[in-house]
Amino acid sequence: MSTEITVDLPFPPSVNRLWEHTRNGVHLSPAYRQWLAAANRLGLSQRVGRYRGRIIGPFRARILLNRNFRRADIDNLFKAALDYAQRIELIANDRHNEGGSYDWVAPAEAPHGCRLILTADIPKS
């Protein structure tokens, strides 16, 4: 048996724009904080989090990115989406990711910019 969780997110910021370095240390960048707020608003409308289930162990991630937002290296866009999935407890920890894929897709497949699909095989008891 497998479980699948799908959530729509805003187009994620590049991994290069997640953090800012200051004299006081490393902090979330303003762009990343803005994206997190937008993801939270969108997530509330989809009832993400505990209402969607949670994957405790190994999982695979597929990220569909709206090709109309194509302004970054596709491989730099994975981190924000997986960190967000962990933040809202769709997954226990993103280190359990066993692989996945990312693709540029038509706008209808990722209407808000990004669609995250998490899958895990659940052993039968």
Which structural domain range is residue 50 located in? 2-121
User: CA-CA distance, 87 to 68, in Å (whole number)?
Assistant: 27
The number of domains in the chain is: 1
DSSP state of 55: B
Pairing of strands 59-66, 113-121: antiparallel
Structure token digits, residue 76: 């730099």
Single pTM value for the model? 0.86
Per DSSP, the three-state class of 1 is coil
User: Is pLDDT above 90 for 43?
Assistant: no
Q: Write down the H helix ranges in the chain.
A: 30-46, 78-87
User: CA-CA distance, 35 to 106, in Å (whole number)?
Assistant: 21
CATH of the domain at 28: 3.30.1330.70
pLDDT in tens, 17-36: 888 888 888 888 999 999 99
